[in-house]
């Protein structure tokens, strides 16, 4: 819910439209992931699909892009955790905690759980998040009820918005969905993975899309008469809960949001560690990272490494004095580039894989073309119109990151080739 005000700052009354477009894009990708998921259930599936169907250098880009997506998301979530934790602390005690301490608590706690066993803890957090989402839905319904049964024409007419502003908001709207495909990272750990994983991914895309569209519409409508700036409010749902005379729901929502941030950090560390495990097996990172714990059966070294990489950006930005909202928005936007890349490459990988199997159909090909084109448009939207710094710097930082990974890839391959040549000479 912290993302919607950030989208509003860019898209204004077109916020709901940005989420509607994002829902269409993500649904296309979900359909493709589902088609792949019905044929493969290996852990780290999106990366596995790319390595199975794309040339090695492109598969390497897919791996590093997906890893960046999860790591940057985890760092951004730490900023959101700081924001909601301090909102709650201020409500109850009138004081706030050190952002650095809260970041360490969030990432350190999530890493400890991922190191041991995420199943039991994840189930408990899912129930708590479900209660928070239920409270959010109640507040949104009360907001709509309070404002009468008439339509909000300024929003429906996109008053004050433009195609350019909606395109800018679209990138952050996509960030609200990132990780919707995380069920693919479980692979054979899921029950009946070839059936349940594709269904879970599609349901997550459609359900989240409907929820975000409703939330964006209701929140923009509800804030119109508050006299407060929607994009400058620390806890928008808390404000709306007070407006609808149920302040207790605001506290529950804020607590649920804090727990949700922690759960998301846990999910990001878990998924990134599994991606690192596969990358280690394929020689893209040190082979030690594919080791699993003798007792917990988790990729413990990959978890520790991931947690450190997730922790550093959040701590550095905190030390520089930036707020939790800034960290959430900047690193979240940066993460989107990784997900756009992997989703776009998925649109290429599926037709190639099905063509090899002689199972490529016209509907799947059309879906892949539309999904790929939508990802290209989303990426292009980050270049023009040019957003304000630091958002305008992010695409260039991302391309520098990809360049570094390519140099690393060719360096590793050259070393392997040299080593093989020496062995052949000795023989």
How many angstroms separate the CA atoms of 162 and 168, rounded? 10
Q: Which two tokens stand for residue 335?
A: 């993460």
Burial of 366 (0-12, 13-18, 19+ CB in 10 A): exposed
- Is 45 a residue whose pLDDT tops 70? no
DSSP 385: S
Hey, how many other C-beta atoms are within 10 angstroms of the C-beta on 389?
A: 8
Per-residue pLDDT at 425 exceeds 60: no
Residue 191's H or E segment, with its range, is none
Q: In this model, does residue 98 exceed pLDDT 70?
A: yes
15-19, 118-122, 203-207, 253-257: the lowest-pLDDT one: 118-122
Peptide bond into 14 cis (omega under 30): no
List Cα–Cα distances, 174 to 117, 256, 261, 333, 358, in angstroms. 29, 22, 17, 9, 33
Give just the sign of the alpha carbon dihedral 224, 227, 232, 233: negative
- The CA R_g of the chain, rounded to the nearest whole Å, is 22
159 torsion bin: left (phi>0), alpha (psi -120 to 50), beta (else): beta
Token reading at 173: 């709207």
3 state SS of 402: helix
pLDDT at 193: 61
Q: From CA 359, how far away is CA 355, in angstroms rounded? A: 6
Q: If you average pLDDT over residues 370-388, what whole number do you get?
A: 85
- 229: Cβ–Cβ under 8 A, 6 or more apart, which residues? none
| Run of H or E residues at 376 | helix 362-380
Q: What is the number of alpha carbons within 13 Å of residue 259 lying toward its C-beta?
A: 19
For residue 113, with 0-12 CB atoms within 10 Å meaning exposed, 13-18 middle and 19 or more buried, which class applies? buried
Site of tokens 């003798």: 294
Extract the tokens encoding 403.
């360049």
Q: What is the DSSP letter of 94?
A: S
Minimum mean pLDDT range among 170-184, 309-323, 391-405: 170-184
Least confident of 70-79, 189-198, 331-340, 366-375: 189-198
Tokens representing 98?
Answer: 């050190």
Quick check: 233 and 5 in contact, CB under 8 A? Answer: yes
Residue (of 211, 243, 252, 238) closest to 224 by Cα position: 243
Tokens of 74: 């985890």
Structure tokens at 375: 């990802």
Has residue 84 got a pLDDT over 80? yes
Spatial distance between the Cα atoms of 216 and 206, rounded to a whole number of angstroms:
15
Pairwise pLDDT comparison (42 vs 133), residue with the higher score: 133
* Tally of CB atoms within 10 A around 104: 16
Can you tell me the mean pLDDT for 9-18? 94
């Amino acid at each position: 819910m912290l993302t919607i005000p950030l989208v509003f700052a860019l898209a204004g009354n077109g916020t709901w439209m940005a989420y509607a477009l994002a829902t269409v894009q993500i649904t296309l990708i979900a359909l493709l992931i589902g088609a792949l998921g019905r044929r493969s259930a290996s852990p780290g599936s999106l990366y596995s699909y790319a390595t199975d169907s794309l040339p090695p250098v492109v598969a390497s880009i897919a791996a590093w892009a997906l890893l960046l997506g999860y790591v940057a998301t985890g760092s951004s979530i730490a900023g959101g955790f700081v924001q909601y934790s301090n909102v709650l602390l201020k409500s109850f005690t009138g004081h706030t905690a050190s952002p650095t301490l809260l970041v360490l608590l969030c990432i350190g706690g999530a890493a400890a759980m991922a190191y041991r066993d995420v199943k039991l803890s994840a189930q408990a957090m899912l129930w708590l998040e479900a209660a928070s989402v239920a409270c959010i839905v109640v507040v949104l319904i009360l907001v709509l009820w309070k404002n009468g049964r008439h339509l909000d024409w300024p929003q429906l007419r996109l008053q004050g918005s433009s195609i350019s502003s909606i395109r800018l908001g679209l990138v952050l709207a996509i960030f609200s969905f990132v990780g919707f495909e995380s069920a693919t990272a479980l692979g054979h750990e899921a029950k009946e993975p070839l059936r349940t994983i594709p269904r879970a991914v599609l349901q997550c895309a459609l359900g989240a899309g409907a929820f975000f569209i409703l939330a964006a519409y209701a929140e923009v409508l509800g804030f119109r008469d508050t006299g407060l700036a929607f994009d400058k409010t620390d806890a928008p749902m808390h404000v709306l809960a007070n407006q609808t005379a149920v302040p207790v729901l605001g506290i529950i929502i804020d607590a649920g949001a804090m727990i949700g941030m922690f759960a998301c950090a846990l999910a990001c560390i878990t998924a990134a560690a599994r991606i690192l495990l596969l990358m280690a097996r394929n020689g893209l990172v040190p082979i030690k990272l594919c080791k699993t714990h003798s007792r917990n059966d988790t990729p413990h070294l990959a978890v520790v490494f991931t947690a450190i990489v997730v922790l550093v950006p959040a701590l550095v930005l905190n030390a520089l004095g930036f707020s939790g909202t800034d960290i959430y928005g900047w690193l979240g936007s940066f993460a989107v580039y990784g997900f756009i890349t992997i989703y776009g490459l998925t649109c290429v990988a599926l037709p190639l894989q099905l063509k090899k199997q002689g199972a490529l159909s016209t509907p799947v090909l059309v879906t892949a073309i539309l999904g790929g084109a939508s990802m290209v448009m989303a990426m292009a939207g980050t270049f023009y119109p040019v957003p304000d710094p630091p958002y305008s710097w992010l695409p260039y930082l991302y391309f520098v990151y990809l360049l570094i990974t390519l140099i690393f890839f060719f360096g590793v391959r050259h070393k392997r080739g040299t080593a093989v040549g020496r062995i052949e000479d000795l023989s």
